[in-house]
Amino acid sequence: MVGTKGAKTSSRLAESMLELIQRHGYSGAALNAVVEHAGAPKGSLYFHFPEGKEALGEKAVELAAARFGSLVADSALEAATPGEVLRRVIDELAGMLDDSGFQLGCPVSVVTLEMGAQSERLRDACANAFESWIVPVSEMLIAHGRPRLTARALATALVSMVEGAVIVSRAQRSIEPLHCAAQAIAVLLEQDREVSA
């Protein structure tokens, strides 16, 4: 029972860190604010994350990676082609951005930009997160007939395009950049399919 309660507290802290990173950036996610947001006892943060903010940030990045991975996987179950999968993912991201008033961005890109040069631990967590998105997209492309090296390169470009579109959408407070990315991805996948055929 104690273990379950502790796991729930640890999970709430990571969830709160993730949300605060999305809203205020890594630097703006103060530990006291995380504890307050999570409704956790004050001493619980260092009990669950004895290595401090970087460890909690790493957990938040892992959580974000898993959520985006689930979004891709769920979209793949409902769509027949890679283009349709990515369109569903982009539509979902556009909805999240719009619903949040363009306050919630991708925490992985935020942490990369803020901490990538300062913390090897957080840079590695972000690199692993991006890799966890590139690999399934690459595997999906391979399953649809792309050669392995081509699929890997294309998957890397597609993930990068979506990430960039999220950033531009937040800056412009418009989902139009995401829709433009979706259109460009559809063209890119169609051209690549013709070349690979």
What does the DSSP assignment read for 66-121? HHHHHHHHHHHHH-SSHHHHHHHHHHHHHHHHHHTTT----HHHHHHHHHTTT-HH
Type of residue at 20? L
**Res. 158: pLDDT tops 90:** yes
Compute, in degrees rounded to 10, the torsion defined by CA atoms 85, 21, 134, 96: 10
Q: Is 175 part of any domain?
A: yes
- Exposure pattern of 118-146 as b/e (b: 16+ CB <10 Å)? ebeebeebbeebbebbbeebbebbeebeb
Which pLDDT belongs to residue 7? 84
Q: Is 33 part of any domain?
A: no
Q: Given its phi and psi angles, is residue 173 left (phi above 0), alpha (psi -120 to 50 degrees) or beta?
A: left
Which pLDDT belongs to residue 24? 92
Between 66 and 43, the more confident residue is: 66
**Res. 16: pLDDT tops 50:** yes
Which CATH number goes with the domain that contains 131? 1.10.357.10
Which pLDDT belongs to residue 1? 37
Q: Which band of pLDDT confidence, cut at 50, 70 and 90, is reported for residue 194?
A: low
Q: Is 174 part of any domain?
A: yes
Residue 144 three-state SS: coil
What's the mean pLDDT in 172-197? 85
Q: Which band of pLDDT confidence, cut at 50, 70 and 90, is reported for residue 197?
A: low
Q: Which band of pLDDT confidence, cut at 50, 70 and 90, is reported for residue 92?
A: very high
Q: State the average pLDDT for the chain.
A: 91
Q: Is 42 part of any domain?
A: no
What's the mean pLDDT in 35-43? 90
Structural domain harbouring 125: 60-196
Q: Is 143 part of any domain?
A: yes
Q: Is 46 part of any domain?
A: no
Rounded to whole angstroms, the Cα distance separating 26 from 54 reads 10
Q: How many domains does the chain have?
A: 1
